[in-house]
Copies of this chain bind each other. A is one copy, B any other.
Amino acid sequence: MSAIYSLTNPIFTNFAFYAAASTIKMMAMSLLTSRQRLAKNIFANPEDIALGSNKEAKVTLSDPDVERIRRNHLNDIENILPFFVIGALYVATNPTPVVALWHFRVFFFSRIFHTIAYQLALPQPSRSLGFTAGYVATISMAVQLFRALLK
């Protein structure tokens, strides 16, 4: 019998792929924030003004374009890290591989869609649907985890 948490277990490798891809997507929000700050000369700290491209650089925490990316980033943290926690534990329950794979896929693509809907300010409820699909995927794994733990 091979170990659960190893590259010989396809459930684990699928989880690793989608968990890492979701995390990289989340990390990309940092770069988007930096790009927006530099483009608009808007910074969060007085010492950061030296990074600005001209004398119009200023400190503000209320620029709507920067704050939209920040809220998107925080929403990722609120959802992608719980996906990792619940998903990593769910892998230990040895779920049906194809069922597990679809949970990981639905989660990842729902977060991609959520980001697009957030950054393009698509009409609601598009962003809400993206959020909900990912949320439900995580809750579904948690339900199966609790069932396995309480058996």
Interface residues of A (CB under 8 A from B): 3-7, 12-13, 16-17, 19-20, 23-24, 26-27, 29-30, 44-48, 50-51, 61, 67-68, 71, 73-74, 77-79, 81-82, 84-86, 88-89, 92-93, 118, 121-125, 127-128, 131, 135, 138-139, 142, 145-146, 148-149
- Flag if A20 contacts B142 (CB, 8 Å): yes
Interface centre among A20, A50, A131 (most CB of B within 10 A): A20
Residues of B within 8 A of A145 (CB): 16, 20
Closest to A68 in B: B45
Task: Report the copy number of this chain in the oligomer.
Answer: 3
Residues of B within 8 A of A73 (CB): 78
